[in-house]
Every structure is written in C-alpha cells, then in structure tokens.
C-alpha cells in the first residue's frame, strides 16, 4: 500500500527575500496596495510579519504590530487564487496566537465598509465594530471610511 503524502501550509517569518512575491499578490488583490517600502519598514520595525506557504507557493501573509498589551493587525492577505479555502481563517488564527504569545489582550484592525468578504471573516471570529475613522482610506473617488474592529484575546 502506498502512502499519500499531503503537504500542509507552513507559517514562516517574513523576510526581505519574500517581498517580490508578497508585492505580486498585494498589487493584484488591493485597489490601493501597500508599497514595498511599507513592508520593508514593517520588517525593520520588528513587527510580527509572517508568510503562509504551501510547498514553495505563497498563499498569503500578515503584518501585526504588538505593543503595550495591544495588537494591531495591519495587513492580512490571501492570494486571489487561494481565497475561500480556509487559509484566511487559518492565518487570522495564527495572528491571534502570535498576538497572545506577545502579551496582547486585545486585537484591533481597520477594514473598508465596502470589503464585505473581510468583514464576514472578522464577524465569524467575533470581532465587534468599535469606531469609524472618517476618510481613512484612499479610494477611486475621494476617500473611504475605515471601520475599526476589536476582539478581546483574553
Ligand atoms: C479577506 C480574506 C483574507 C479572506 O481570506 P479567505 O482565505 O478567502 O477566507 P476563508 O476561506 O478562511 O473564509 C472564511 C469566511 O470568511 C467569509 N468570506 C471569505 N471570503 C468571502 C467572500 N468573498 N464573500 C463573502 N464572505 C467571504 C466567509 O464567511 C468564509 O466562510 P465560508 O467560506 O465558510 O463561507 C481574503 O479574501 C483576502 O485576502 N482579500 C483581499 C485582501 C483583504 O481584503 N484583506 C483584509 C483587509 S482588512
């Protein structure tokens, strides 16, 4: 009987060498993507940056800032071809685990009101809307508000 070896997604610390692939994904899935400099600055600042890979393929990534008992999820992304396979949920769970391990008691993030996919994901995890930042995001016509969401981690 032959064994079937199944490959599982691996979470790896993001490094400068990942940024070509990260940017290739970022520029496809966002109307207003982060720049390479935004990712490089996050790495230099010591933020918790991770990539999710299946074999050599990049599935997604996150950038998390943790300070003073609070965590802020700055970027959570799954490549277009890999969405709706549970990877976003897996990655969000990993980000929560990293936040907890760094002593965060609460996780914050911003999301566009127009981003119903992300909002559905966050709602499933129990995030609640706590504020609106007016005109926070650039948009095709003017600016778009941000919903500020929070999840207690205790
Ligand atoms: C938001 C995002 C991270 C979700 O990743 P994903 O791997 O597709 O998510 P999952 O497969 O784990 O989906 C979990 C749940 O989220 C919700 N969801 C995800 N994508 C959805 C969509 N397109 N429409 C509606 N609900 C959606 C569903 O409730 C889904 O559960 P279900 O598939 O059982 O219905 C991904 O769509 C993405 O990277 N989008 C572009 C970047 C982005 O918007 N990031 C968030 C910025 S705040």
How large is the average pLDDT for residues 64-75?
98
Banded model confidence at residue 154, pLDDT cuts 50, 70, 90: confident
- Nearest one of 104, 149, 143 to 125, comparing CA atoms: 149
- Nearest one of 50, 49, 120 to 89, comparing CA atoms: 120
Ligand 1 atom 4, closest CA? 88
Ligand 1 atom 27, closest CA? 117
The finding on whether 111 has its CB within 6 A of some atom of ligand 1 is yes
19-44 pLDDT, tens digit each: 999 999 999 999 999 999 999 999 99
How far is the centre of ligand 1, averaged over its atoms, from the C-alpha of 81 (Å)? 12
How far is the centre of ligand 1, averaged over its atoms, from the C-alpha of 120 (Å)? 7
How far is the centre of ligand 1, averaged over its atoms, from the C-alpha of 1 (Å)? 38
How large is the average pLDDT for residues 131-143?
95
Place of tokens 């966050």: 122
Is the Cβ–Cβ distance between 145 and 138 less than 8 Å? Answer: no
pLDDT at 2 over 60: no
pLDDT at 1 over 80: no
74-132 pLDDT, tens digit each: 999 999 999 999 999 999 999 999 999 999 999 999 999 999 999 999 999 999 999 99
């Amino acid at each position: 009987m032959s064994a079937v070896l199944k490959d599982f997604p691996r979470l790896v610390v993001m490094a400068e060498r990942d940024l070509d692939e990260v940017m290739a994904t970022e520029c496809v899935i966002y109307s207003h993507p982060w720049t390479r400099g935004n990712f490089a600055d996050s790495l230099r600042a010591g933020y918790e940056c991770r990539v999710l890979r299946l074999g050599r393929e990049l599935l997604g990534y996150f950038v998390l800032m943790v300070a003073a008992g609070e965590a802020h999820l700055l970027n959570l992304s799954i490549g277009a071809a890999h969405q709706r396979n549970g990877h976003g949920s897996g990655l969000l769970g990993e980000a929560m685990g990293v936040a907890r391990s760094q002593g965060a008691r609460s996780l914050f993030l911003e999301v566009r009101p127009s981003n119903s996919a992300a909002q559905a994901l966050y709602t499933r995890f129990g995030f609640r809307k706590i504020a609106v930042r007016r005109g926070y995001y650039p948009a095709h016509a003017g600016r778009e508000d941000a919903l500020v969401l929070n999840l207690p981690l205790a």
